[in-house]
Amino acid sequence: MNAQTQFSGGFQNAPVEAAVAFRAAMTVMARPGVIRPLIGAQPPAPLSIAAGTLLLTLCDPDTNVHLAEGADTEAVRQWLTFHTGAPITAAAEADFAIGSWQALGPLDDYRIGTAEYPDRSATLIVECDALHPSGVELSGPGIRDTAFLSLPDVPAFQANAALYPLGCDFFFTCGDKVAALPRSTQVRTGG
């Protein structure tokens, strides 16, 4: 790993780029199924631009980050540590976790919050090969009637939604695109 990669690829103008990135992240979390562009960071491979931007926008020394297999490379560790200072931890202590859907699972490892503090749960950033507004049918808060999103799984998200108000929340990233699935969303196949 050379210093060039480790130190570069951050925000050029952090306050403004983070604000614009957060608006995209908030919009997709408030409207499950909506896909938005998310740019700003140039993370080392294999992280996507959208995933790297999410990490820079939301992570700092106060948040534990879990790198799932595949995403857990020396280059990613150094880049994340330099730019955010976030401690890298096991899945069970993570506030944020990043990796492909296969590498992140099973969901049982992650914090789902407590009955009195459901917010103390993990947010998973799932790197996807494709992201498009079709496939699984979504309904719930943030969705007028129904929405559709290409999800990597169905039973796992149904089980997660059944824990409501506990559970994990998910961002899906693909290249420079992001979508989200909060625990409040009901997931149904056959859309």
* Position 5 contacts another protein (CB under 8 A): no
Total number of residues that touch another protein (CB under 8 A): 39
Among 6, 123, 160, 173, binds another protein (CB under 8 A): 123
Residues 125-154: x where in contact with another protein by CB under 8 A, - otherwise, as a string: ---------------xxxxx----------
* Position 162 contacts another protein (CB under 8 A): no
Structure token digits, residue 80: 């994340």
- Check: CB of residue 79 under 8 Å from CB of residue 3: no
Cβ closest to another protein, residue 28 vs residue 47: 28
- Check: CB of residue 46 under 8 Å from CB of residue 175: no
β-strand 96-100 against 123-127: which pairing, if any? Answer: parallel
DSSP reduced 3-state for 191: coil
* Position 60 contacts another protein (CB under 8 A): yes
Binding residues for another protein (CB under 8 A): 14-16, 18-20, 22-23, 25-27, 29-31, 57-60, 62-63, 95, 115-119, 121, 123, 140-144, 164-165, 169, 182-184
